[in-house]
Structure 1
C-alpha cells in the first residue's frame, strides 16, 4: 500500500563513521527503483554532528550509543560490564 510521501531521506549521514556520498548514491538508486524522490543530505556539514549532540543534551533526548547491529550492541554491553 502506497503512503504517498513527497520525499525520503535518512539521518545516517550525521555519523562521522558513515560515508554520506555512498548513502546518497544508494538513496538515488532507491528513488529511481521506487519512484519516490530522494532528498540528499550530509548532516556532518557545518558541525552538524556536534550540533546534534548539543541539541540532544538541551532537549534531554536519548542518543543510541551503538550503530544498531547486534555486533555493535554486544560490544557496547561487553564494555559496560568491563569485558572489553
Structure 2
C-alpha cells in the first residue's frame, strides 16, 4: 500500500461500463515519513468514501481491481482513509 492525499475528483462523460457508479479521485502520492509530494498526481477509483484533502492509502496494479466485486479495468484504488500516522523508524539498530 502507498500513501497519498486526495486533491480532487475526476468526472467522465463516457467510461467503461464496469466503472459506472464508481467515484474517481485525483490523488497526489506522498512520502510517508516526510509527508512531501512524491511524483505526479494520478486517478484512482475509490471504495471508502474519501473526500478532498484527506490522507489515504492506495494500491496499484492488479490489487487495485480486486478491491471491487466486478473487477473493473483500473490500476489504482483508494482502499483506506488515514486518521493519523507515525513517521518513525521502528527497525532495530545494530
Shorter-normalised TM range: under 0.3
TM-score, scaled to structure 2? 0.24
Q: Which structure shows the higher strand fraction?
A: 2
Larger Rg: 1
Q: Answer 1 or 2: which has greater helix percent.
A: 1
Higher relative contact order (CA 8 A, sep 6+): 2
